Structure 1
């Protein structure tokens, strides 16, 4: 992974990742991180769009389980 690692900092009671620790930014809510990913600010990540409209930040697959979000 080329960039610094983004990690999950908070989850909802159902296990939905709601906040992330982004190097250089601190804690960022899911929607703001999704916006940044869609603007190309985090090339090692993509956004999964769910049928209900939620956008879920995801790490790009690279064959390693050690750098997945969540």
Structure 2
């Protein structure tokens, strides 16, 4: 089984993911940077949802639990 492409490295007190790490290229991103990268097509297995009025990166649904953000 392969490693996750992106892992969450920090979340705020309410549990919202705030910082992310790309395990393939070593990039560290905050939420808005990751959202912009997803919108630019650089992370095809992720999409952006509006959660409580905030653009939020989420992994695309599939049967593999190993690639979920968390």
What TM-score range do you get, normalising by the shorter chain? 0.7 to 0.9
Unpaired runs of 5+ residues, structure 2, are none
Runs of 4+ in 1 over 2 A off after TM superposition: none
TM-score, normalised by the number of residues in structure 1? 0.83
Unpaired runs of 5+ residues, structure 1, are none
Aligned-residue Cα RMSD (Å) equals 1.4
**By percentage of residues, which structure has more helix?**
2
TM-score, normalised by the number of residues in structure 2? 0.83
Aligned residues: 66
